[in-house]
Structure 1
Amino acid sequence: MPIFAQDLLPFVENFSKSNYQGDNQIWNLAQGNDDAMYFANNYYLLRYDGVKWEKNSLPNKTIIRSILVDKDRIYSGSYKEFGYWFRKEGKMQYVSLSKGNKVFDDKNNEEIWKIFKFKNQIYFQSFNGLFLYDGKKIKQIKFPFLASYCFVVEDQLLIASVEQGVYRLKGGNIEKVSEWAVLENNVIHAIEKYDGKIYFFTKKNGVYVLENGSINPWKNPLNAVLKSANINVAEFLKNNKLVVGTASKGVFIFDLKDGSYSNISRNNVLMNNSVLSIGHDKENDLWLGLDNGIAHIEVNSPTAIFYDSSGVLGSVYSVATIPAGYLMASNHGLYKFVDKKLSLIPNSEGQAWNISKINSQFLIGHNEGTFIYKNDSFDKWSTINGGWNMTKSGINNSYIQSTYSGIVIYTDVHDLSKHIVVKGLLKPIKYAAQNRKNEIWAADNNRGLYRILYNDNYETLSVDNVTQLSKINNDFGVKIVEFRNEVLFLVHDTWYTYNSITNKLVENDLFNANFKNVSDIVTIDENHFMVLKEGLLYHIFAKENKFIWNIVQEKYYKGKIINDNLKVSKSDDNYLLNLDDGFIKLQLKYNSKSNPQIKIEGMNGDHLVGDNSKIDYNSELKLFIISGIYGVNKPSLFYKINDTKKFTAVKEGVVVLNNLESGSYEVSIYNYDGLSYKKIAEFNYQVAQPWYSSFWMILLYITIISVVLYVYYRWNKLRYIQKLALQEEELKHQKKILEMELKAEHELNTQEYEKHILALELQTKSSEVAGKSLSIAKQSEMIDKIQGILNSESDINKLTSEIKKAIKINAVNKHEWETFETNLNQIHNEFMINLSKKFPNLTPKDIKLCIYLKMNLSSKEIAPMMNISYRGVELHRYRLRKKLNLVQDENLSKFLLMI
């Protein structure tokens, strides 16, 4: 089977241009007294405090080749330029030392490639000479040759030339070290002293060692590898390690105690194989400046990680230690990692779920069954598919396996071929446990928790769905945990134990109080287990009834945990945790950590804000919680705002506060030691009133309101004056109207008076007409009476006397009749006109009859007035109806009244 070279490496944290937003090459690096890391990155001086990156440029925008930290200054060297940086109010400030001092010859294109301190003076080195700065003046020393680099070894300053060997600076003079002639024609990139020996690191010829006055090639197999890799930089670390950075094979970390080494390169986790610079921090961890990027290597940490650089391993579901290395179950099969080599176990291809060590052999739960791995042999012992998990019984030496199709019990650890399939539960079981005889607990992979009872012959007596019997509806993804001989069940974020009296699940107060919002939990041993809570991993140490929480830094596993398949195996004082591209080895011990010293930097937009500052309303405040610790000892910090009860984890060192309302706030930072939260810092700030509630806005409001009120007053006053003028004008107009109305009323009254007079006159004339009518009627009556006298009397004298008497009584003169006729026509003139217009065929006699009828006179009364008989009046009325086109039912008098 294919074999791939691999290694178990320290944790490597890579930073690319996308992180620091700078250029490619990192020419030099150092840690400042403020604990921040500084990098010479082409045109930028980068600063990284463990939380945020900053970049700064020189005024002349030249490439920064070298830096040196001395107290609060960061010296930098560039093309015909050197000086120092200092930090003020959260910003880097630059002071040039070379500008204006004419230290550079215009003929030479010099760059400062190295800066070092020697005998309280700062040395700026180019390939042609040195510039010495004593704090006041600058002195120049020119080389009589082309140099590579200068090195301080104990009390002497060594100068490595490109071709002529090594020189030393003594009393201001440069003299050659003739006894080191073997180093001539070598480009020396580092000279380091360790354990009484001086090591010379050449670019192409490997390492030389000065011992007992003689220089010889380094007698180590690694030296042959280094010759072909081209050494760029080298440095001894305090923990007995030698670090060598190469141009083509990454970095080599050599353990000077046991002679072993590891190579970190592009083949495993490094972003680039060309190492340009090396540095270390106060934790003695390693920093690399690459040809493209930055790497932080935790060489001083007990944490180690296996990375699958070949891509063949796949996702790891279980890890176990074997005598010479490690065994890994992945979705591609079973792999072993021995002597830095990864290989696939023959015939193990497919999904491997679990590795359980029983005595000296390993039981492998596989998609195609259960296999035994022992002495490099791989044999199938069970054809039951899908051995998810294996757990030891709490009452005897048997093992219980959960599979795709139920529970399998291995009763004889010496003969694992003897196994019993539990009947009555043909379901995919994910977890199983046993703490009572003849009773097994099984959690369905999907939903439900089952209690299986069986007799001594392993015959199933009953299978009960306990979550249903306990009336728990949401029983998806049940997890089973064994803790101190007690079986606990995690069902929908609530912990339960089984009450054998009520045969139901009851809540467990201890675990519910300590392990809320836990998404996964794995037992390591009776006092240790691993918990995944809100995306963070915790190693839990149970001390009596107290639980000590030790957070595992998220950077070790971020984005690599396989959900619902977290497995942990113990290896001496370490534990192994599976990841989706390998595994991580973590320390099992719990170490009480002292409270760290931290700094809080607040940024409101692009402005640095200090404690007790005031910021704008509804703006964003970023608090950078800076510990200055980059490695395994980086503290687990939490924060609270004002008097809230909840502790929130500080992720990636940043607390972002948005949509801030006006008022005073206190952000308290706490260090969590596993048992309690201890306040270590606080940051107070005030949020200003909104702009519309500020003093100037209130003043503006008052001004606007005053102006509005004044304008309103002036407008109201003007309006009042206009109203008065209008009222005056209106009064004049009303007076005029009143006068006109009075005049009109007077005229109307006059007209009414005249009308009244006319009415009276009309009434008088009507009375006259009526009188005349009565007179006429009396004349008619007189005539009738005379006619009667004539008919009754025969005596002439008496007849004559009676006639004369009647005539005298009823006499009517001719003038009175004419007056009657005239008055009648005047009274009914309008009626006569309208009647003549509507009915032009009417005769005067017809019109006279119409007038009499309108006056409501009877035919008998009309006859004498028209000097016709009663019969004649009726006949005339009949003819008149025809001329007026009246129907039979229509009343003639009413019709005439309508005209």
Structure 2
Amino acid sequence: MQLKQRLFILLIILCTVTGNAQQVLPFVENFTKSDYAGDNQVWNVAQGNDNALYFANNHFFLRYNGIKWEKYALPNKTILRSVFADGDRIYCGSYKEFGYWKRIKGRMRYFSLSENKELFLGNADNEEIWKIFKHGNTVYFQSFNEIYLYNGKTVKKVKFPSQISYCYVIESTIYVASVRNGMYIMQGENFTEVKNWPELKDNIIHGMEKIGGKLYIFTKNTGIYTTTGDKLQPWASPINTLLKNDVLLTAKFIDANTLAVGTALRGLYIIDMPTGTYKNINRNNSLKNNAVLSITLDKEKDLWLGLDNGISHIENNSPVSLFTDNSGILGSVYSLSPLQNGYLFVTNHGIFNFSNNSLQSVPNSQGQVWDIYKNDSEYIIGHNDGTFVYNGSSLRKVNPVNGGWKFLKSNFDEAYFQANYSGIAVYKDITDLTHWKILDSITKPIRNISQNRPGELWAADNYRSLYRITYDKDFKVKRVENVSAQNKIGSDYGVKIFGFKGELLFLINNSWYQYNSLSGRLEKSGLFNTSFNNISDIISVNEDSFLVIKNGLLYLITQVKDAFRWKLLPEKYYQGRLILENTQVCSNGTDLLINLDDGFIAFNKDAANTVKQNIKVEAFYDGNLIDADTKIKYNQPVEINVVSEYYGYNRPDLYYTINDDDAMLPVKNGNILLSSLSSGRQEIKIFCNNGNGNTQVASYVFYVALPWYFSFWMILLYVLLLIGLFFLYYRWNQVKYTQKIRLNEEELRHRTQIMQLEMEAENRLRQQQHEKHMLEMEVQTKASEVAGKSLSIAKHSEMIEGIQAVLESDTGEQLKNKIRKIIKTNSISKNEWQSFEKNLLKSHEEFVTRLSHKYTSLTPKDIKLAIYLKMNLSSKEIAPMMNISFRGVELHRYRLRKKLGIEQEESLYKFMINV
């Protein structure tokens, strides 16, 4: 353990000796070749009128708009040494080549000005264009031995009197810096040597600018010269000696009071001209490389550096600056306080003093430290090992109260309170912290305390719960109330206490509460719940302003009359470095100092942020810029670039909506990738967010084609298919109709055949019926014949009977005998009568059957009479055949009528015919 402590102390001592590289520096954004996919060296940088940055990167011409990098190469693949922006043209110079780039349909296109002009002949065979500038209406392309003048139409070559480094335009004069012969002035195609600057002979000049009426000449190895009248003299500044040893490569005045100097060995110097003080930005603190090849000032007055390996963007004009200890010695800063010439830090590694650009560890302070409270010239420090006092030079332990999270002066009592690991300590005399007492009845670790009434103290537990503590004048606790539990707030972890305008507010589970002393209850704050929802932490700055952390972003809130004004601190300055739940802020003049891992952020709270946001929206489909002729296919991705004219602090926090959707989505890194787009009109609206509202700053409309299956050719195909289907349907119907007609004809033919067969059958039936009828008629005829014959027989029998009756007389016995013999011979026997009756019934068999079925009560005699009546025989003719008298026949006819139900006036003959 002792060995570890000794090693740690040795490390701190080494840090004290060598830890002089830390400074409060502007924010630096570095780009490596893995970011832009190019080469190492960046020889020159220029900003175009489209606000994009252009870089000469060896084999590549780079473009950067704050969102994406574009990489191009010259047609002959030669190395680019220079770029210069003029209007919509970006001129560039290379080996035996120069021309300009122009942006067309979202891509850079190159136009050569030297091709096929035979400019690089003879001694100019190895010329490279190292610098491009404009004077009047002429663009100059400068190599080390020659210069090429382009007037917009033609190119003229002019040879230098000797090898030079660079040309410089100062007001209306072109200065030509010779490597051996000092300085020339170029007039047309003539050169005049500047005789009274002999100091520049055999001196390489890397910069020349005029500011405040003075001319500054920057040399590679002999520092900076200024003019006094027409004479040169070394710049009278201590830093000039330093620059002589660091190999000066480039220089640029940021403004009349600030100079940026790029060196080969120690990076960039930003020099305050009136005081001679400087900030050195190098590989040890911010840069990726110490060799600064070029410096360009953008429209925000921020610096862009072309390095020997990479690109750096330095936000020197930002209200934000950073202190960062890259060594890791400092650790996570939990609190800090400004000193006369520096800062006092308390961290998880101990206490550190930063003064005169040197970071030193305070001896015997190692360990976790939480809090600093400034009391006149002394600092009361809450340490893991107790309470300490630091006077600027020495540290002493004053009591064993450990884990002091917060030291609070009472506004109502002559006392001080200290929240610590074991509760709350009370000090009656701040000059004598060796005497204290602990508030009884509360022995929990208390992280935060606040007070707005006498005899009352509010405390937040390190883990959960909000307490209200009342005490008497001797600081004896009268009552301790767990207010969050009393109000049944279940999730009361990490309670925040915030004092504002004399009132205390409590942030519990994302809701704001105030205490109603009359009801003894917590009540929700309408103002703060409306204005500050989704707040994770809040830190007081002064009576009218405070910091909030919302969705991981820092905002400075200032109350102006009845409204809150929000000012965003962009996330890039502290991303991944905030110490959540332990964020502290202190004031240092107009700057707010906010603790971070390995340092702090300094923010000028009075900095104006009222720049007008000019947002440009570019949309790309399939790698090409979308224009009026672009056909965007259905369900294909579209890339939206939301380009701001600012790269530094003023770069806005943007959100977007699509097609009037209520969902407000963040624009991440200026890029929106849209996929699964429906067809038709698409509108993107861009909003600038300032924390408490969104303002629309841009919009973009484009159109997505219908799905391929709804395209013109597909619709035409559908129409043709539909026509084809209709045709097929028509043909099918036609064939079906033809088949139907054929079937109908066939059916008709079959029906005709059937009808013919039926007719033939019917004819045959009729024929048969006719034949049958004829047979019946024949039978009837024969029956009539039989009847007639029967009648004849009957008459004959009657005659015979009459003759026989005569012969039975006594006269003519012999005659009588002969007649008897004849009668006997011609008489009809009984069998013949029976045979006659049988034939009679058979000939009228159907008639007898129908009549018998219909009238079941008829007797054989009735039937026989009916047959005779059907034969239309009279009663007189019927009488002998039935062997009854005439009157017997009439009586029988009468009875038959009764049985048949025939009226008297109805003919029996007709009735029998119709049976």
Scaled to the shorter chain, the TM-score interval is 0.7 to 0.9
What stretches of structure 2 of length at least 5 have no aligned partner? 1-12, 751-915
Deviations 1:649-701 (Å, cap 9, x if unpaired)?
44433344343334534333334566654333222233444334444444444
Q: Aligned partners of 2:729, 2:495: CA distance in 1, in Å?
A: 75
The 1:67–1:17 alpha-carbon spacing in structure 2 relative to 1, beyond 3 Å, is same
Question: Based on CA coordinates, which of the two structures has the bigger radius of gyration?
Answer: 2
Deviations 1:704-744 (Å, cap 9, x if unpaired)?
56656766887899899999999999x99xxxxxxxxxxxx
The 1:645–1:440 alpha-carbon spacing in structure 2 relative to 1, beyond 3 Å, is farther
SS in 1 for 2:80: coil
Structure 2 residue aligned with 1:461, among 464, 475, 478? 478
Quote the residue 2:399 is aligned against.
382
SS in 1 for 2:241: helix
Quote the residue 1:147 is aligned against.
164
Q: CA deviation at 1:19?
A: 2.3
Q: Aligned partners of 2:464, 2:706: CA distance in 1, in Å?
A: 54
Quote the residue 1:55 is aligned against.
71
Aligned residue runs from structure 1 range 90-129, under 5 A: 90-105=106-121, 108-129=125-146
Q: CA deviation at 1:333?
A: 0.8
What stretches of structure 1 of length at least 5 have no aligned partner? 733-899
Q: Does 1:9 align with 2:20?
A: no
SS in 2 for 1:141: strand
Quote the residue 1:328 is aligned against.
345
The 1:145–1:594 alpha-carbon spacing in structure 2 relative to 1, beyond 3 Å, is closer
- Count of residue pairs the alignment pairs up: 732
Q: Which amino acid aligns with 1:443?
A: A
Aligned residue runs from structure 1 range 646-725, under 5 A: 647-672=664-689, 676-704=693-721
- Confirm or deny: 8 A CA contact 2:31 2:312 kept in the other structure: yes
Q: Which amino acid aligns with 1:99?
A: E
SS in 2 for 1:10: strand
- Confirm or deny: 8 A CA contact 1:595 1:671 kept in the other structure: no
Q: Which amino acid aligns with 1:270?
A: L
Give the TM-score normalised by structure 1.
0.77
- Confirm or deny: 8 A CA contact 1:593 1:673 kept in the other structure: no
Deviations 1:606-653 (Å, cap 9, x if unpaired)?
132259987443333333222211223333444344445565444433
Most deviating of 478-487 and 414-423 = 414-423
The 1:65–1:594 alpha-carbon spacing in structure 2 relative to 1, beyond 3 Å, is closer
Q: Aligned partners of 2:188, 2:46: CA distance in 1, in Å?
A: 29
- Confirm or deny: 8 A CA contact 2:28 2:314 kept in the other structure: yes
Most deviating of 372-381 and 573-582 = 372-381
Q: CA deviation at 1:551?
A: 0.8
Deviations 1:417-463 (Å, cap 9, x if unpaired)?
34332222222222221212222222222222222222222222332
Structure 2 residue aligned with 1:498, among 515, 534, 550? 515
SS in 2 for 1:222: helix
Q: Which amino acid aligns with 2:594?
A: L
Deviations 1:734-785 (Å, cap 9, x if unpaired)?
xxxxxxxxxxxxxxxxxxxxxxxxxxxxxxxxxxxxxxxxxxxxxxxxxxxx
Q: Which amino acid aligns with 2:537?
A: D
Quote the residue 2:608 is aligned against.
591
Q: Aligned partners of 1:558, 1:686: CA distance in 2, in Å?
A: 37
Structure 1 residue aligned with 2:566, among 522, 544, 549? 549
Structure 2 residue aligned with 1:368, among 385, 397, 408? 385
The 1:688–1:397 alpha-carbon spacing in structure 2 relative to 1, beyond 3 Å, is farther
Q: Aligned partners of 2:493, 2:84: CA distance in 1, in Å?
A: 59
Deviations 1:826-848 (Å, cap 9, x if unpaired)?
xxxxxxxxxxxxxxxxxxxxxxx
SS in 2 for 1:282: coil
Q: Aligned partners of 1:314, 1:649: CA distance in 2, in Å?
A: 32
Quote the residue 2:575 is aligned against.
558
Q: Does 1:313 align with 2:352?
A: no
The 1:535–1:701 alpha-carbon spacing in structure 2 relative to 1, beyond 3 Å, is farther
Q: Which amino acid aligns with 1:316?
A: V
Q: CA deviation at 1:590?
A: 6.3
The 1:439–1:716 alpha-carbon spacing in structure 2 relative to 1, beyond 3 Å, is farther
Structure 1 residue aligned with 2:266, among 249, 252, 256? 249
Q: CA deviation at 1:293?
A: 1.2
The 1:277–1:692 alpha-carbon spacing in structure 2 relative to 1, beyond 3 Å, is same
Deviations 1:58-110 (Å, cap 9, x if unpaired)?
11221110011112211100111100111122221211000021111166211
Aligned residue runs from structure 1 range 295-694, under 5 A: 295-396=312-413, 398-589=415-606, 591=608, 593-610=610-627, 615-645=632-662, 647-672=664-689, 676-694=693-711
Most deviating of 436-445 and 277-286 = 436-445
The 1:69–1:229 alpha-carbon spacing in structure 2 relative to 1, beyond 3 Å, is same
Aligned residue runs from structure 1 range 30-45, under 5 A: 30-45=46-61
Deviations 1:468-511 (Å, cap 9, x if unpaired)?
22111122222111111211111111111122333332211111
Q: CA deviation at 1:175?
A: 3.3
Q: Aligned partners of 2:436, 2:148: CA distance in 1, in Å?
A: 81
Quote the residue 1:66 is aligned against.
82
Most deviating of 483-492 and 152-161 = 152-161
Deviations 1:824-879 (Å, cap 9, x if unpaired)?
xxxxxxxxxxxxxxxxxxxxxxxxxxxxxxxxxxxxxxxxxxxxxxxxxxxxxxxx
- Confirm or deny: 8 A CA contact 1:611 1:683 kept in the other structure: no
Most deviating of 584-593 and 318-327 = 584-593
Q: CA deviation at 1:23?
A: 1.6
Q: CA deviation at 1:584?
A: 1.0
Q: Which amino acid aligns with 1:91?
A: R
The 1:118–1:723 alpha-carbon spacing in structure 2 relative to 1, beyond 3 Å, is same
Q: Aligned partners of 1:455, 1:613: CA distance in 2, in Å?
A: 80
- Confirm or deny: 8 A CA contact 1:400 1:407 kept in the other structure: yes
Q: CA deviation at 1:387?
A: 1.7
Q: Which amino acid aligns with 2:702?
A: Y
Structural RMSD (CA): 2.8
Quote the residue 1:76 is aligned against.
92
Give the TM-score normalised by structure 2.
0.75
SS in 1 for 2:610: coil
Quote the residue 1:780 is aligned against.
none
The 1:451–1:91 alpha-carbon spacing in structure 2 relative to 1, beyond 3 Å, is same
Q: Which amino acid aligns with 2:647?
A: Y
Q: Which amino acid aligns with 2:57?
A: N
- Confirm or deny: 8 A CA contact 1:612 1:685 kept in the other structure: no
Most deviating of 472-481 and 131-140 = 472-481
- Confirm or deny: 8 A CA contact 2:555 2:691 kept in the other structure: no
Quote the residue 1:158 is aligned against.
175
The 1:432–1:711 alpha-carbon spacing in structure 2 relative to 1, beyond 3 Å, is farther
Quote the residue 2:303 is aligned against.
286
Q: Aligned partners of 2:507, 2:81: CA distance in 1, in Å?
A: 58
SS in 1 for 2:634: coil
- Confirm or deny: 8 A CA contact 2:379 2:391 kept in the other structure: yes
SS in 2 for 1:467: helix
The 1:136–1:272 alpha-carbon spacing in structure 2 relative to 1, beyond 3 Å, is same
Q: CA deviation at 1:26?
A: 0.8
Q: Aligned partners of 1:327, 1:283: CA distance in 2, in Å?
A: 33
Q: Does 1:27 align with 2:43?
A: yes
The 1:96–1:488 alpha-carbon spacing in structure 2 relative to 1, beyond 3 Å, is same
Q: CA deviation at 1:121?
A: 1.1
Q: Which amino acid aligns with 1:281?
A: D
Q: Aligned partners of 1:412, 1:695: CA distance in 2, in Å?
A: 90
Structure 1 residue aligned with 2:277, among 260, 263, 270? 260
SS in 1 for 2:484: helix
The 1:131–1:454 alpha-carbon spacing in structure 2 relative to 1, beyond 3 Å, is same
Q: Aligned partners of 1:85, 1:396: CA distance in 2, in Å?
A: 74
SS in 1 for 2:305: strand
SS in 1 for 2:541: strand
Q: CA deviation at 1:13?
A: 1.7
- Confirm or deny: 8 A CA contact 1:612 1:686 kept in the other structure: no
The 1:154–1:317 alpha-carbon spacing in structure 2 relative to 1, beyond 3 Å, is same
